[in-house]
Every structure is written in structure tokens, then in C-alpha cells.
């Protein structure tokens, strides 16, 4: 395994001169997973200690309460145009360590291919074909408690597969590192995604007829290459408030995303580093029912008159914790773009414990 990691890193470094750093590269990995997180606008890196920590903060897996946890999520975006799925299996390796294997898919199916729409100078709709654009990620996670009380460390190794119909695709590789720290009722986290700079190696397989059609329509023939994803960092801070002899609890959390891939339209923007804050809150009753809300993705929007306004995406969520089953639902961007902009997400989490 170490030899594989070493060879992969060498390949990435040797190809950097011919590679292209793209803003929003592998952005499907930054959408987030789990309906609990979606209901809190993704502000969960410090408080997540269940199987979904395999994505949000691998260090949080060290506090896994059950021997095995399984989660499955389905998310429909833009009125079902894009389907986003996540599954993960987390398991205790010892009293102080845990691991997980995870899978992410984001796909848009049934995209019309109008490359052969014209026939003898006439439009022939029967010649329209369709294809899918699908992104996959496979992750292996590991977490362990350290000798420093309250400090847990973790990391992910991820393999990326991106497919665009029969025309082309890419294979990629990356590493994430994270730390979680708890002091009394306070929880902190620091996550570094794509810490070694993740790469995608693209290649295209197009027939001669496809190439001729592209050139005839004034398009360029795509060429393979190396796409680099620069590191991004997230800092999280949370605290749970639960008065004595009360069945109610309140858990607010603040997350700060720092990106390094160029200037973005976020709250604090520059060519070198950008800051995008998110905030979420979870109100629980008797550890049985949870109401969640959040606000994030702050952007400066210019209207038709040239005025700039600060706009964000609100979210709402609801969770029910049964004995060994958790059911979570989230509604994203419910108040900004109407039905077409809403995101509906459902996730199920199952806990399994060995008999003593």
C-alpha cells in the first residue's frame, strides 16, 4: 500500500508541468453527504461522530459508538435532473480505532447528444442520442485516538472515476487528512481535503465520424490531460447545550471553508485564499427527534440594476432516532429558487452491535 501511494504521488509530481489546475475541480466531492448535514447547511465537521464522518471528518470515526454502522443516502437535485447517492460502512477496529469504506455517485442521465442532429442539411430528431455524465468516488478511511486526551486523527484515501458517455473519462487519486478535538462540551475539527493535490488523468476515445462532426460544427476535438485539484481546508467549532434534567438539547456549529484554487464568489474573496462560512443548528428532544436548520453558500449577487446583494442558501431538516435506526430528511435551498432549485435528501443509518 505504501509503495502504491509513493508511486501515485511521484506520478502526480512528475506530471505537474503538463497539468492544469482548475477551479471547482472534482466539485461533486464538496456537495456533502447525509441528510443530517444537509439540514445544517453542511456545518457538521466538528460534531459528526457517526459513519458519515468517513466523509466529513475521518478523525470523528474514532468516537464511533457502535461496532458497525451502515448509511445509505439518496439526494435529488434540480427537480431530479441530478441524482446524488452515498453509501458507507464503518466499523470499529479496536477500542481506540475505526475504519470505513464509502462510495459516492453523482450522475446526470439522459443528456441529449445532438452531434448527428443534421442529416442532408435537414434536422432529423430521430438521430438524437443520449448519454450520461457520472462521477464516482471510492474512499477508504481510518481513524485513531491519540495519547493526547480528546484528540483524534484520521484520513481518507480516495479513488475517483469520472465518465462522460462513451467519449471519455478520467481516473484520479487523492488523500484527505483530519483532526477532531473535544474539550468539555466544546468540539473542534480541522479537515484538509486533497492535501497532496488530487489529480484526474483524462483520456478520450472518439470515433473518426465523431471527430468529423465536431470539426464540421466548429468545435475542437478534446485532448487528454491531467487535471489538478488544489487543497481546501475546513475548520469547525461546535458546542452542545443541555441543561440538567432537561430533555431538550441545542447544538450550534460554525464551519469555515478555505479554498486555494483561485478567486471565488464567496464572503471573503481573493486570488490566493477564499473564506466561505456556514452555520447550522440542531435542536433535539430526548435524543429521539431532531429539528435542524442552517445557512451557507454566501455569494454576492448582482441584479439587473447593478446593485450587489449578499445571498445565501438556507436549509431545513428533520431526524428521528429509533433504537438502531436513524431516519433523516433535509430540504435544501427551499426559499430561494422555488421547486426547481430545491434539493430533497433522505438518508438511513443502521447500527449493529455484537452481543456481549
Query: pLDDT band at 256, cuts 50/70/90?
Result: very high
pLDDT for 16 = 44
Gap between the Cα atoms of 234 and 348, Å rounded: 26
CA angle 247, 253, 258 (to 5 degrees): 165
Listed residue (38, 70, 63) closest to 48, CA to CA = 63
Q: Is the per-residue pLDDT at 356 higher than 60? A: no
Q: Is the per-residue pLDDT at 125 higher than 90? A: no
pLDDT for 354 = 72
Listed residue (141, 68, 64, 69) closest to 96, CA to CA = 64
Q: Check if the beta carbon of residue 26 is closer than 8 Å to that of residue 139.
A: no
Q: Is the per-residue pLDDT at 336 higher than 70? A: no
Q: Is 196 exposed, middle or buried (0-12, 13-18, 19+ CB in 10 A)?
A: middle
Q: What is the pLDDT of residues 220-240, one digit of tens each?
A: 887 888 999 999 999 999 999
* CB burial string 246-272: b at 16+ within 10 A, e below: eeebebbbebbbbbebbebebbebeee
Q: What is the mean pLDDT of the chain?
A: 86
Q: Is the per-residue pLDDT at 3 higher than 50? A: no
Gap between the Cα atoms of 226 and 204, Å rounded: 12
Q: Is the per-residue pLDDT at 137 higher than 80? A: yes
Summarize the confidence of residues 88-105 as an average pLDDT: 96
Q: Check if the beta carbon of residue 254 is closer than 8 Å to that of residue 279.
A: yes
The CATH number given to whatever domain includes residue 147 is 2.40.160.40
Summarize the confidence of residues 2-25 as an average pLDDT: 51
Listed residue (159, 166, 140) closest to 201, CA to CA = 159
Per-position DSSP letters for 110-139, written without gaps between them: EEEE-TT-EETTEE-GGG-EEEEEEEEEEE
Q: What's the domain count of the chain?
A: 1
Query: pLDDT band at 9, cuts 50/70/90?
Result: very low
Q: Is 86 exposed, middle or buried (0-12, 13-18, 19+ CB in 10 A)?
A: buried
Q: What is the pLDDT of residues 145-194, one digit of tens each?
A: 999 999 999 999 999 999 998 888 999 999 999 999 999 899 999 999 99
Q: Check if the beta carbon of residue 174 is closer than 8 Å to that of residue 199.
A: yes
pLDDT for 341 = 53
Q: What is the pLDDT of residues 271-313, one digit of tens each?
A: 889 999 999 999 999 999 999 999 998 888 887 787 888 888 8
Residues 6 or more apart whose Cβ sits within 8 Å of residue 203: 168, 169, 170, 224
Query: pLDDT band at 6, cuts 50/70/90?
Result: very low
End-to-end CA distance of the chain: 34
Query: pLDDT band at 10, cuts 50/70/90?
Result: very low
Q: Check if the beta carbon of residue 135 is closer than 8 Å to that of residue 162.
A: yes
Q: Check if the beta carbon of residue 113 is closer than 8 Å to that of residue 127.
A: no
User: What is the grid cell recorded at 315?
Assistant: 436549509
Summarize the confidence of residues 8-13 as an average pLDDT: 39
Q: What is the pLDDT of residues 25-57, one digit of tens each?
A: 898 999 999 999 999 999 999 999 999 999 999
Query: pLDDT band at 18, cuts 50/70/90?
Result: low
Q: Is the per-residue pLDDT at 4 higher than 90? A: no
Summarize the confidence of residues 307-320 as an average pLDDT: 89
pLDDT for 333 = 63
pLDDT for 340 = 45
Residue 154 belongs to what domain range? 2-352
pLDDT for 12 = 42
Q: What is the pLDDT of residues 181-196, one digit of tens each?
A: 999 899 999 999 999 9
Q: Is the per-residue pLDDT at 334 higher than 70? A: no
User: What is the grid cell recorded at 197?
Assistant: 493535490
Query: pLDDT band at 355, cuts 50/70/90?
Result: low
Residue given cell 444537509 in the structure block? 38
Number of Cα atoms under 13 Å in the Cβ half of residue 87 = 3
Amino acid at each position: 500500500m505504501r509503495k502504491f501511494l509513493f508511486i501515485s504521488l511521484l506520478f502526480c509530481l512528475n506530471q505537474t508541468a503538463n497539468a492544469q489546475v482548475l477551479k471547482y475541480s472534482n466539485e461533486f466531492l464538496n456537495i456533502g453527504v447525509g441528510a443530517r448535514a444537509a439540514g445544517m447547511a453542511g456545518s457538521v465537521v466538528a460534531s459528526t461522530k457517526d459513519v458519515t464522518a468517513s466523509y466529513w471528518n475521518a478523525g470523528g470515526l474514532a468516537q464511533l459508538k457502535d461496532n458497525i454502522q451502515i448509511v445509505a443516502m439518496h439526494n435529488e437535485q434540480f427537480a431530479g435532473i441530478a441524482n446524488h447517492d452515498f453509501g458507507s460502512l464503518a466499523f470499529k477496529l479496536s477500542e481506540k480505532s475505526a475504519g470505513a469504506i464509502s462510495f459516492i455517485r453523482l450522475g446526470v442521465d439522459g443528456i441529449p447528444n445532438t452531434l448527428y442532429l443534421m442529416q442532408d442539411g435537414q434536422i432529423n430528431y430521430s438521430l438524437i442520442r443520449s448519454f450520461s455524465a457520472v462521477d464516482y468516488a471510492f474512499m477508504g478511511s481510518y481513524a485513531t485516538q491519540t495519547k493526547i486526551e480528546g484528540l483524534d486523527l484520521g484520513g481518507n484515501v480516495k479513488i475517483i472515476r469520472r465518465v462522460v458517455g462513451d467519449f471519455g473519462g478520467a481516473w484520479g487519486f487523492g488523500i484527505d487528512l483530519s483532526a477532531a478535538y473535544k474539550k468539555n462540551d466544546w468540539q473542534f475539527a480541522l479537515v484538509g481535503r486533497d492535501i497532496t493535490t488530487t489529480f484526474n488523468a483524462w483520456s478520450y476515445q472518439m470515433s473518426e465520424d465523431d471527430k468529423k462532426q465536431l470539426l464540421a460544427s466548429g468545435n475542437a476535438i478534446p485532448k487528454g490531460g491531467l487535471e489538478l485539484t488544489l487543497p481546501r481546508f475546513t475548520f469547525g467549532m461546535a458546542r452542545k447545550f443541555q441543561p440538567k434534567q432537561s430533555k431538550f438539547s441545542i447544538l450550534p456549529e460554525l464551519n469555515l471553508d478555505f479554498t486555494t484554487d483561485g478567486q471565488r464568489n464567496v464572503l471573503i474573496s481573493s486570488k490566493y485564499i477564499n473564506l466561505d462560512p456556514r452555520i447550522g443548528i440542531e435542536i433535539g428532544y430526548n435524543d429521539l427527534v431532531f429539528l435542524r436548520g442552517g445557512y451557507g453558500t454566501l455569494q454576492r449577487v448582482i441584479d439587473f440594476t447593478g446593485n450587489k446583494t449578499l445571498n445565501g442558501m438556507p436549509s431545513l431538516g428533520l431526524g428521528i432516532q429509533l433504537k438502531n435506526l436513524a431516519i433523516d430528511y433535509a430540504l435544501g435551498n427551499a426559499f430561494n429558487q422555488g421547486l426547481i432549485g430545491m434539493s430533497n435528501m433522505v438518508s438511513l443509518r443502521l447500527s449493529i452491535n455484537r452481543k456481549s
